[in-house]
Structure 1
Amino acid sequence: MMFASSWSDRADDSGNARFTSQAATAEDLLKAQTVGLVNLNDYRKRRAEALDRKERGDSAGDSGASTPLDGASTPKAVFKKKRKVAAKGKLSFGADDDEDTENNFSKTPTPRENTPGSEVEGKVARKKLGANSSIGLKPRVMTKTALQREAQHAELARQDFLVMREAVKATEVVIPFVFYDGTNVPGGRCRIKKGEQIWLFLDKARKVGAELGVGGDKSRRDWARVSVDDLMLVRGEVILPHHYDIYYFLFNRVTGFDGPIFDYSAQPTKASPSATDADAEKDTAAYDPLAQPLKKKSKESSIPDEELEGFHEDPSTTKVVDRRWYERNKHIFPASTWTEYAPDKDLSSVQRKDAEGNAFFFT
């Protein structure tokens, strides 16, 4: 057993404390923890603890913190107040993550460049897009100037098409034909423009029949009295309505049972009138306002019939038929095979049948 230092010794030491160093030594720590009789083993243990605390205090550099000498057995630990991180704007469902954010505020955040998602985004952003070779048209800038230029080109193209269409409609063709009343009666040839309608061709054919006297003298008078409404034009085996013009069949490439109804060109040919000829017809210097329309001299084409389209066609392809005869014999071949043209019907793919619904063996 050892006897620790007395209260008088500590009083003397405390009286001179103002003149001594404020840093607690290992002996001071040992005196503060041992009062009265102490077991030798406890004394050695506390002395080792005092030395250990002194060494740890010197290494940490905590020179201002001294061990109290007022008899406290264990010094109070000093806690540092945690600094709160200012909360940023969060979503409503992010309230559950507040505690995790406060507990992990001292951790170093992982840079966004090191995350896998950022690498993928970076690669996509840096990818250079090339031109699509499968697209034939190049992209155009849709600015006001470009739109105006495109509208001007479209207007010029429209005007060019109108001029070309008028030139084609003014082109003359020669159509050989026959009068049909069960047999083919030669009728001759009619010269007509592509822009003229079917009824006008029938009127010219009627005049040709009256001049030729088809069927004798009595038939000549009948041809002179017959109306255009009583005549039909059968092209191949298709009955053409009166109000259609020839250019309609050319422009739309209308086909019959055996091919195009009119196999003429839909583009200007050498027989097409030029722009100078059209201006000559509209010359105001040669215009006579007192001239009667019936007495005006029509300008004949200088191109002979042999050089016009259709001159070498088979006359039996174009038939001029009396409608009254057709109504009496439309159940008899070949009138039973004739079909009236309709725009919504594709004759090239129609299965041909007779009046009783029997399919023809040659189709």
Structure 2
Amino acid sequence: MFEFYNDDQKMIRTVVRELVKKEIAPHAAEWDEEDRCPKELVKVFGELGFLGVFVSPEYGGAGLGITERAIILEEVARHSAGFAMTLMTHDLCTAAIYNFGTEEQKKEWLPKLCSGEIIGGLSVTEPTGGSDLMNHATTIEKTDDGFVLNGRKVFITNSHIANLNIWTGKIGVNEKGRNILSAILIPPGTEGYSAGRKEHKLGLRGSVTGDTIAKDVKLGPDAIIGKEGKGAGVALHTIGNFGRSGMSAIALGVIKGSLEEAIKFGKERIIYGKPLVKIPAIQEMIAENQIEYEAASAMLYNATTVYDRGEDAVARLAAVKYFATEAAIRSSRRTMDLMGGYGVINEYPVGRFLRDAVTNIPSGGTSQIMKIIVAGNALK
């Protein structure tokens, strides 16, 4: 496990763990079964300073980094990876504005996002595919009064609860006929903007995922995030750094939850007159879960520390996103095997862990895309 946390980071982990124990752990199974997102808890996390922790204090944040954000998401995901996904995506909206917004946009929206007064969303994926970023059907038409947005986004987390949204859309084509994208902000209550289909997911069911729809949405000239025509950069930076570090932290929480459940069950289950954990084969399974947690933890917090130092961490974060999300599947499946018949009984959380782990894979880029990024960096 990463062993270089400072005192503030250790304190954050302790405080969040107590909050999760009180507000999330007792309800995680219920949220999963009902496929319900407890959006009221977003404000609780905001009031405690756990939203947008990477935002500077002048805009309402804690002035920390994505390392502290990952610690928070890991602790939440130990019990509810779905609700961790809600918080993770909220912070994507925050990050896009913080890193690319104008001073006016930052002052208007960041304090409300950091406090949880409003919930943020980021809509990039289209029916034509998520990995093919530039193949956008959504259009941003420039007018005398600003912009008109039309399109449909799919598989969008916080689709039905976010009231501040950032979209990407095609604003033109270059001399080679390739799409030029812009990122644009949709304020709460904007006419023509709506949520569409709500998806019935396998896992991550403490979050809501679905379509977002823009039909002749009229936005002012100050709605663009970043420079006009540079929306691909906004999306890639936000997803590549904040999205993948967040998904990795969620996977890490699932691995930790699987490890803890394996140890707890193994100590309580008596077989052949002794606790299950006394059997060498079971000890091997627990050791494998522990090793995967140690490796994923070291990879994640090394990568986030590199980013927080101001260095490029995209390839490192792609590597940990691949490793941690795949390891979460292995760890939860391993715990399920360890538990035998009890592992497939829904009174135990390991089935939820496995479903969450599987659902985590395509979020923020599939495992195959992560390996392409890692290879591309290695071959430079």
Sort the TM-score into its range (normalised by shorter chain).
under 0.3
TM-score (norm 2): 0.18
Which protein has the bigger strand share? 2
Task: Return the TM-score normalized by structure 1.
Answer: 0.18
Give the structure with higher Rg (CA).
Answer: 1
Q: Which has the higher helix share?
A: 2
Greater relative CO (CA pairs within 8 A, separation 6+): 2
